[in-house]
Chains A and B, each alone.
Chain A
Amino acid sequence: MRNGLAAAVALAGALVLALVGAVPAKQPGPPLVSVYSAQLPTGEGRAIAERACLVCHSAQLIAQQAKDSTAWEKTLVLMAKWGAPVDSVQRDTLRAYLVRTLGPRSGR
């Protein structure tokens, strides 16, 4: 299992390098507007978010949210039910990270 995982990570890394190599050969695309950061905020929990959430959706979907602890917990429970690879301890770290970096909207 561990060997398989290492091989898969190596494969993913090779894929990234292959894509990086391929990109400069293409013509630059249209100037599309991107309004959210493609990167998650820094802090403890970011690595868990990258591993558990980006399997299904981009960081942008996370970065455009604003939720309190109860609302983030509801999201995380649903995502875990839908297969997000995160255990209960990681989920607590993840929720704290999300509340700290992407808390509720105020003044609205």
Chain B
Amino acid sequence: MSESTPRTISRRRVLVAAVGAGAAAIVSAGLWPWLRRALVPDLAAELIERNAWPEHWETTLAGLDHGAITTNDRFFVRSHFPVPEVDPASYRLAIAGLVRNPLSFDLAALRAEPQQSTTCTLECAGNGRGLMPLANTSGTQWEYGAVGTARWSGVPLRALLEQVGVDPAARHVWFEAADHATLPQTPRFLRSIPLEVANERVLLALSMNGAPLPARHGAPLRAVVPGWYGMSSAKWVTRIRLEATPSDNHFMAKGYRYVAPGGDPLLSPPVEAMRVKSLITSPREGDALRGGVIEVAGFAWSGAGGVRRVDVSTDEGLTWQEARLAAVEGPFAWQRFTASIPAPARGSVTLWARATDVAGETQPLAAAVNSGGYGNNSVHRVRVVTHA
């Protein structure tokens, strides 16, 4: 910001004060919930508002229970900054950096490329953070539903990388995007991924569940990195850079790391592949059910590329019953599981679900605590009451 003149700074301060005063006035007058509902007619009822701006929406377990595909109006939303307005007519995707032939694509050119589709699950790295036993919290206190599965369609990143000719020195792919904070001092949100992951499975998605990508999900183009936590699937991507090193952006170097309490983020492992996890979407906490047999259903997924089995327990893990798994939509899409569980005719039952992935990893009863509250894949517990 060293090039800013005093004049632009005072204008900026006036703007900041105006935005702050406007926001404070809306909040103080108690108008926010009213205004909010008027402004978001394209979202379903089965969402929990975790943050009004920037938008953080969590899907309820009832909202996830409708099917293996999470509809666009129910899909969780996590944005670092306000949803940017990207003009489709002037939009360009530039690919530059360590390449032989830098190129720029408009939307017509991207749509003219051979299209591919993939069904995959995206989970926010902070999903379950609100359930992690941390005395000091940070960020959005998600519980269960910062996860969803969609069918994404667009251009495989590898196809475009072949056209630009990647330099042998390139090792990482940086995604730059159109979103930015209200204040210019705030760093942009920038993520990078290893080149081999980009070549193997990354899709540049133009559509979501057969509809044009919604604005809050990254229109006109987002990266989809199957198997990795959601922050890598950058939205509103405008520029892709090939580099020798990972990005040193704040959200790479300090954010999204498994930091033990008191540890140094720079020396801590990065958050990447989704840990094996399952959620019971039916029944739900507190439900009253007829005793005898309880029909349990939910979803299980893993960034390792598939789930081998899901087990359900009603005796706090002393014994487990293997659940049935539905057909696989893809290695990185969640799988529906169902189980018919014997239950007392009258009483209280706590259902536990535990998934094991193709790499042999099993969900822990309680995930190790880390100060950012990332990767909480603790066994899901649901208490229900039975009656005759």
Q: Which residues of A contact B (CB under 8 A)?
A: 1, 4-5, 7-9, 11-13, 15-16, 19-20, 22-23, 26-36, 38-40, 50-52, 54-61, 64-68, 71, 75, 81-85, 104-106, 108
Q: Are A30 and B16 interface neighbours, CB within 8 A? A: no
Q: Are B182 and A67 interface neighbours, CB within 8 A? A: no
- The residue from A4, A58, A108 contacting B133, defined by CB atoms under 8 A apart: A108
Given contact pairs A20-B31, A32-B40, A58-B53, enumerate 11 new A-B contacts (beta carbons under 8 Å). Answer: A4-B14, A16-B31, A29-B39, A52-B20, A54-B20, A55-B16, A56-B181, A58-B51, A58-B52, A82-B181, A83-B186
A26: chain B residues at CB < 8 Å are 38
- The residue from B19, B28, B35 contacting A19, defined by CB atoms under 8 A apart: B35
Rounded to whole angstroms, the CA-CA distance of A7 and B15 in the bound complex is 10
Q: Scoring B residues 127 to 142 as 1 if CB is less than 8 Å from chain A, else 0, what string do you get?
A: 0001001111110110
| Residue B168 at the chain A interface, CB threshold 8 Å | no
**Size of B's binding interface in residues, CB under 8 A:** 60
Of all chain A residues, the one with the shortest Cβ separation from B1 is: A83
A51: chain B residues at CB < 8 Å are 17, 20-21, 24
Rounded to whole angstroms, the CA-CA distance of A52 and B24 in the bound complex is 10
Q: How far is the CB of A13 from chain B (nearest CB, A)?
A: 6
Q: Which residues of B contact A (CB under 8 A)?
A: 10-11, 13-41, 43-45, 47-54, 56, 60, 130, 133-138, 140-141, 181-187
The list of the 9 closest CB pairs from A to B, nearest first, reads: A29-B37, A83-B183, A83-B185, A12-B22, A8-B18, A58-B52, A50-B24, A71-B136, A54-B23
The SS class assigned to the A binding surface is: loop
Please report the number of residue pairs spanning A and B whose Cβ atoms sit closer than 8 angstroms: 177
Q: Are A23 and B35 interface neighbours, CB within 8 A? A: yes
Q: Are A27 and B41 interface neighbours, CB within 8 A? A: yes
Q: How far is the CB of B275 from chain A (nearest CB, A)?
A: 22
- The residue from A8, A38, A64 contacting B137, defined by CB atoms under 8 A apart: A64
Of all chain A residues, the one with the shortest Cβ separation from B24 is: A50
A104: chain B residues at CB < 8 Å are 135-136
Q: Are B60 and A33 interface neighbours, CB within 8 A? A: yes
Q: How far is the CB of B191 from chain A (nearest CB, A)?
A: 18
